[in-house]
Amino acid sequence: MRMMISSIGQWFDRRLQLAAPVREIAEHPVPRNTASWWYVFGSAALVVFILQFVTGILLALVYVPSGAEAWSSLQALNHAVTLGWFIRAMHGWGSNFMVAIVLIHMVQVFLFGAYKFPRELTWILGVFLLLMTLGMAFSGQVLRFDQDAYWGLGIGASIASRVPILGPAIVKLMLGGPIIAGATLSRFFTLHVFVIPGLLIGFVCLHLLMVLKLGINEWPMPGRVVKRATYINDYHELTKKDGAPFVPYAVWKDMFFAAFIILAVAACAFYFGPFGPTGRPDPTIIQTVPKPDYFFLWLYALLSLLPPSLETPALLIGPVVVIAGLLLLPFLSGEGEKSWKRRPIAVLTVMLIAITLGTFTHLAGYTPWSPHMNAWSGDPVPDQFIHGTTALERQGALVFQVKQCRNCHSLGETGGQRGPSLDSVAVRLTQDQLIRQVIQGGGNMPAYGKNLSPAETTALVAFLETLHPKGQAPARDAARDVALGDQKQPGSER
């Protein structure tokens, strides 16, 4: 039996002649201390990519890339096709895992100085692989052709339209027509299923080829400095003196981690289920709060927090600067220390970016900049703010509710957070200032002058003046008492 298998193997190899090069690749020597758990993320990214490939093909068996039917075919996958929900969930969670692993891999490569000479091109291809991974994540979100996908495309089109001169043409090219419709989905399907995966496969092969040709980055030691003239010799000496064959010396850690990641994706898929689809992609349903997928939430936050005048420049110039910076990195610091212990700025940069992105993502989780569209009808004024108030003040509380002030202002922790909380507004603003603010707006608040009768304004301000902590007097304008003689400011006696 063994003889037979061996002779069949030989028959094939006499024709393919692959056994020797494959053995050579498998057993190429790697520096002994690179057999580390820190070095498993690259192979894990490849494994998740293969997983995405397989689950993607499975989904394509049922999915219909038509504006009219995509949403229904996803419903069928979720509810009618056996285990369709699980394959969708695997693909969705696989996408999240892939972005996360690629980012971790990149941070590790950056902190270990692996992008330095002679691995500059490996890094550059890696940057393109990151961009393609993000491109896959975005186009995948579009294929989940639901409300979020529809309005997400609208946001994409609005951003693209801001490109000087070419903007409108880019929008039409992106949408495949004048509006977001069937043609738009078809072209994102083409990108997601043919164009980007094809490029990904090619780039992954080149990326891997270079890892094999140039050798895996040695474990960085403080003081072991990269010099273009000597590095390659030093590296060969290191692998000769202190090397071990990749298989089986280092590969078992990659294998363990790969299996762990696949199981983790499956566990998340099983436990949390597939993502959406949310409501039908029907633009006449405007009762929707579109939100991007997890890895684009930071962008969603950034677009709310940038000053309006900076937005277009930041959107158009920012990505160019970031990508150019990433591509130029290996040329700007191609030599020198590799160890993170001797590169404080590198460590601080990673921390700063991580904290910034983390904070933006966290903020996008509860969107304090968005009005709560239903607060005016859903969140009543809490009891404690009404206790012991006069009829006028209660009328003011009603005005406060009915005029949708609550959509942007919270009282007792309920309501919107777009504007400041009004729990103690009377301490901050005097009566005159309150009236002016309500009528004229300003500081990002709309003017309500045209929408409030004088009686409503009087009642509203009377209510607002009651909003101060117990034992803390409301703000008052001392000069006013003098100017108006005996006439006391309402509320000043309280």
Looking at 7-15, 130-138, 209-217, 276-284, which segment touches another protein (CB under 8 A)? 276-284
| Sequence-distant (≥ 6) Cβ neighbours of residue 179 within 8 angstroms | none
How is residue 43 written in tokens?
């192979």
Subset of residues 5 to 44 that bind another protein, contact rule: CB under 8 A: none
CA torsion 487-489-491-494 (nearest 10°) is -70
Residue the block writes with tokens 């690259």: 42
Subset of residues 52 to 71 that bind another protein, contact rule: CB under 8 A: 66-69, 71
Between CA 465 and CA 211 the distance in angstroms is: 69
Q: Which residues pair with 243 in a beta bridge?
A: 31
Amino acid at 485: G
How is residue 293 written in tokens?
């997928």
Looking at 95-103, 236-244, 348-356, 446-454, which segment touches another protein (CB under 8 A)? 446-454
Looking at 222-230, 237-245, 437-445, 469-477, which segment touches another protein (CB under 8 A)? 437-445
Subset of residues 448 to 467 that bind another protein, contact rule: CB under 8 A: 448, 450-451
Q: How far is the CB of 450 from another protein (least distance, A)?
A: 7
Size of the site for another protein (CB under 8 A): 73
Subset of residues 378 to 407 that bind another protein, contact rule: CB under 8 A: 402-405, 407
| Sequence-distant (≥ 6) Cβ neighbours of residue 27 within 8 angstroms | 245, 246, 247
Residue the block writes with tokens 């094939």: 12
Start-to-end CA distance of the chain, whole Å, equals: 100
CB nearer to another protein: give 183 or 251.
183
Binding track over 145-184 against another protein, x by CB under 8 A: -----xx--xx-xxxxxxxxx-xxx-xxx-xxxxxxxxxx
CB nearer to another protein: give 148 or 254.
148
Which alpha helices (DSSP H) does 273-390 contain, by range?
297-305, 308-332, 344-366, 375-378
Subset of residues 414 to 433 that bind another protein, contact rule: CB under 8 A: 418
Looking at 198-206, 230-238, 299-307, 427-435, which segment touches another protein (CB under 8 A)? 299-307
Q: How far is the CB of 74 from another protein (least distance, A)?
A: 13
Q: How far is the CB of 362 from another protein (least distance, A)?
A: 17
Q: How far is the CB of 290 from another protein (least distance, A)?
A: 6
CB nearer to another protein: give 307 or 471.
307
| Sequence-distant (≥ 6) Cβ neighbours of residue 210 within 8 angstroms | 119, 121, 122, 125
Q: SS3 of 398, please?
A: helix
How is residue 332 written in tokens?
């700007």
Between CA 95 and CA 194 the distance in angstroms is: 17
Query: Is residue 368 reached through a cis peptide bond, with omega within 30 degrees of 0 on the bond before it?
Result: no
Subset of residues 301 to 360 that bind another protein, contact rule: CB under 8 A: 303-304, 306, 308-309, 311
CB nearer to another protein: give 251 or 435.
435
CB nearer to another protein: give 150 or 235.
150
CB nearer to another protein: give 74 or 405.
405
Between CA 429 and CA 435 the distance in angstroms is: 9
Q: What is the full DSSP assignment across 97-122? A: HHHHHHHHHHHHHHHTTTTSTT-HHH
**Under the criterion CB under 8 A, does residue 185 sit at the interface with another protein?**
yes
Subset of residues 353 to 372 that bind another protein, contact rule: CB under 8 A: 369-371
CB burial string 76-92: b at 16+ within 10 A, e below: ebbeeeeebbbbbbbbb
Looking at 51-59, 245-253, 340-348, 439-447, which segment touches another protein (CB under 8 A)? 439-447
List the one residue from 118, 283, 382, 412 that touches another protein (CB under 8 A): 283
